[in-house]
Structure 1
Amino acid sequence: MNKAYTYIIFILLLIILPANVLAADPHEVRWHNEAADTTTITRILVKATDLCASNPNQLVEFIGREFIGTPYKSGTLEGSPEALTVNLEEMDCTTFVETVVALALTVENHRCSWIDFLDMLETIRYRNGYADGYASRLHYISDWVITNTHRGYIKDVTGRIPQSDVQIKTLDFMSRNRSKYPALSDSATFEGIKNMEVGYRSHRFPYIKSARLSSKPIINALKGGDIVALTTKTNGLDVSHVGILVIEKDGPHLLHASSKEDKVVIDKLPLTEYMRKAHQLTGIRVLRLQTQ
Structure 2
Amino acid sequence: MRKIITLLYIATSLLIPFTLRGVTPSQIRWHNESTDTTKITKLLIQATDFSASNPNKLMEFIGRQFVGMPYKSGTLEMEPETLTINLDEFDCTTFIETVTALALTIEDRKNSWQDFANNLESLRYRQGETNGYASRLHYFSDWIVTNIHRGYIKEVTDRIPQSDSQIKTLDYMSHNRASYPALKDSATFEGIKNMEVGYRSHRFPYIKSARLTSKPVTNALKGGDIVALTTKIGGLDVSHVGLIVIEKDGPHLLHASSREGKVVVDKLPLAEYMRKSSNLTGIRVIRLQTQ
TM-score by length of 2: 0.91
Structure 2 SS opposite 1:220: helix
Are 1:27 and 1:84, in contact at CA under 8 Å, matched by a contact in 2?
Answer: no
Q: CA deviation at 1:59?
A: 0.3
Does residue 172 in structure 1 map to residue 171 in structure 2? yes
Instruction: Give the greater-gyration-radius structure (CA).
Output: 1
Q: What displacement does 1:25 show?
A: 1.9
Q: Which amino acid aligns with 1:60?
A: M
Q: Any gaps of 5 or more consecutive residues in structure 1?
A: 1-22
CA deviation after TM superposition for structure 1 residue 50, in Å: 2.7
Offset of 1:204 from its aligned partner? 0.2
Q: How does 1:62-77 map to 2 (within 5 A)?
A: 62-77=61-76
CA deviation digits over 1:220-259, x for unaligned, max 9?
1000000000000000000000000000000000000000
Question: 1:45 matched to which residue of 2?
Answer: 44
Kept in 1: contact 2:53–2:290 (CA 8 A): no
State the secondary structure of the residue aligned to 2:117.
Answer: helix
2:191 alignment partner AA: G
2:96 maps to 97
Q: CA deviation at 1:54?
A: 4.5
What SS does the corresponding residue of 2:213 show, helix, strand or coil? coil
> Does the 8 Å CA contact 1:59/1:225 hold for their aligned counterparts?
yes
Aligned partners of 2:162 and 2:207 also within 8 Å: yes
Q: Which amino acid aligns with 1:43?
A: K
Q: Using the alignment, how far apart are the partners of 1:48 and 1:283 within structure 2?
A: 31
> Is 2:244–2:254's contact at 8 Å kept on the other side of the alignment?
yes
Q: Compute the RMSD of aligned alpha carbons.
A: 1.2
Cα distance change on mapping 1:220 and 1:24 into 2, 3 Å: closer
Q: Residue 134 of structure 2 aligns to which amino acid in structure 1? A: A
Tell me the TM-score normalized by structure 1.
Answer: 0.91
Match of 2:77, SS state, is coil
Partner of 1:201: 200
For structure 2, the residue ranges without an aligned partner over 5 or more in a row are 1-21
1:213 is paired with a residue of what secondary structure? helix
Q: Corresponding residue for 1:160?
A: 159
Letter matched to residue 118 of structure 2: D
CA contact (8 A) 2:228 2:241 kept: yes
Aligned ranges 1:257-272 → 2 under 5 Å? 257-272=256-271
Indicate conservation of the 8 Å contact 1:172/1:237, yes or no: yes
**Which 4+ runs in 1 deviate beyond 3 A?**
51-54
- 1:53 is displaced (CA, Å) by 5.7
In 2, the alpha carbon distance for the partners of 1:253 and 1:27 equals 39
Counterpart Cα distance in 2 of 1:260 and 1:152: 33
Q: Distance in 1 between matches of 2:151 and 2:127?
A: 14
Structure 2 residue aligned with 1:8: none
Stretch moving more, 257-266 or 46-55: 46-55
Q: 1:246-261 maps to which residues of 2 (within 5 A)?
A: 246-261=245-260
In structure 1, the residue matched to 2:182 is 183
Q: Which residue of 1 aligns with 2:239?
A: 240
State the SS of the aligned residue for 2:224. Answer: coil
- Is the CA contact 1:258–1:265 (under 8 Å) kept in the aligned structure 2? yes
Are 1:32 and 2:31 matched, yes or no?
A: yes
Taking the aligned partners of 1:26 and 1:287, their CA distance within structure 2 comes to 31
Counterparts of 1:238 and 1:145 in 2: how far apart (Å)? 11
Distance 2:234 2:149 in 1: 27
Equivalent residue number for residue 223 of structure 2: 224
2:87 corresponds to: 88
Indicate the SS of the match to 2:178.
helix
**Matches of 1:217 and 1:103, distance apart in 2:** 31
Q: Distance in 2 between matches of 1:210 and 1:203?
A: 20
Say whether the 8 Å CA contact 2:23–2:114 is kept in structure 1: no
Matched letter for residue 76 of structure 1: T
Q: How many residues align?
A: 270
Distance in 1 of aligned mates of 2:218 and 2:200: 32
> Residues of 1 paired with 2:272 and 2:224: CA distance?
19
